Amino acid sequence: MSRESSTQSNRLDSGACGDPLLDVSGLVAGYGATEVLHGVSLCVEEGEVVSLVGRNGAGKTTTLRSIVGNVVPSAGSVTFDGEDVTGLSAEKTVQRNVAFVPEERRIFPGLTVAENLRVGQLGGGETADPRDPEEVLAEFENMRDHPDRKGAALSGGEQQMLAIARALVAGADLLLLDEPTEGLAPFVVRQVEDLVTSLNAEGISVLLVEQNVQVALELADRHYVLDRGEIVYHGTSDQLRENSEVMDRHLGVTM
């Protein structure tokens, strides 16, 4: 392993993306007078699963919100497929086939599975490539046989899968997943992992935010470690796994 994986040399480096699908550069953002992100750079190549890991309050969700335009950055840029989308509204970002599945999942509890998916279809814009809800549903073992179940009747894992399915219906090329396994039982975590793996095999790129480092190591090819609004480390799964200092100091994982 080269010295490149040391904390210091990776501080300013977003990693090597020759032809990035998503390119985030020097993002500064926050809430009111409070700056939360102090220059975050990262990239995702087409076909990759990339993780953004870090402790509570590190700024992971704020990074995703800034990418989709829910938070308007005060500096830096976000490009998607070569197009500058910095500060574009979330609606417009969806039209560029970027889908954000937030922490709180936000499915409609009063609507059925099928209705939730139809709402997802409305989200896609002109440039989006919406998929047939039936076709998407067919991929989801837990739900395909019960399209009439209400959102509120679904388990946490099923709600997570429905939220992801809805993003797919809108025609996403890039999924931004915010802690998709949070609060789920281990066997359901496995199901979500399998889902992400199979979507990626279909060509969907993923930026995965996780506090569960094991899930991130399992799923992602490369990892960015965020600490107090700064990327403090970037590396492959093997590099991160072997870096006990980063694991311990920035992720709170004792090796």
Ligand X SMILES: Nc1ncnc2c1ncn2[C@@H]1O[C@H](COP(=O)(O)OP(=O)(O)OP(=O)(O)O)[C@@H](O)[C@H]1O
Residue pair 237/220 in contact (Cβ under 8 Å)? The answer is yes
160 is an interface residue for Mg ion by CB under 5 A: no
CA–CA–CA angle 2, 247, 5 (5° rounding)? 15
Q: Taking contact as CB under 5 A, which single stretch among the options 58-66, 109-117, 131-139, 247-255 is the one that binds Mg ion? A: 58-66
Check residue 150 and report its DSSP letter: B
Contact partner at residue 31 from Mg ion, ligand X, none, CB < 5 to 8 Å by partner kind: ligand X
**DSSP state for residue 95 in the 8-state scheme:** H
d(CA 91, CA 167): 13
Least Cβ distance, residue 66 to Mg ion (angstroms): 13
| 67 vs 98, beta carbon nearer ligand X | 67
Structure token pair of residue 141 = 């073992």
| Residue among 31 and 198 whose Cβ is closer to ligand X | 31
Which residue number has the CB closest to Mg ion?
Answer: 61
Residues forming the site for ligand X (CB under 6 A): 31, 34, 36, 54, 56-62, 211
Does 181 interact with Mg ion (rule: CB under 5 A)? Answer: no
What span, in angstroms and rounded, lies between the C-alpha atoms of 222 and 220? 6
Of the pair 137, 208, the CB lying nearest ligand X is at 208
Site size toward Mg ion (CB under 5 A) is 2
Query: Counting contacts by CB under 5 A, is residue 61 touching Mg ion?
Result: yes
Angle at 185 between CA 112 and CA 99, to 5 degrees: 50
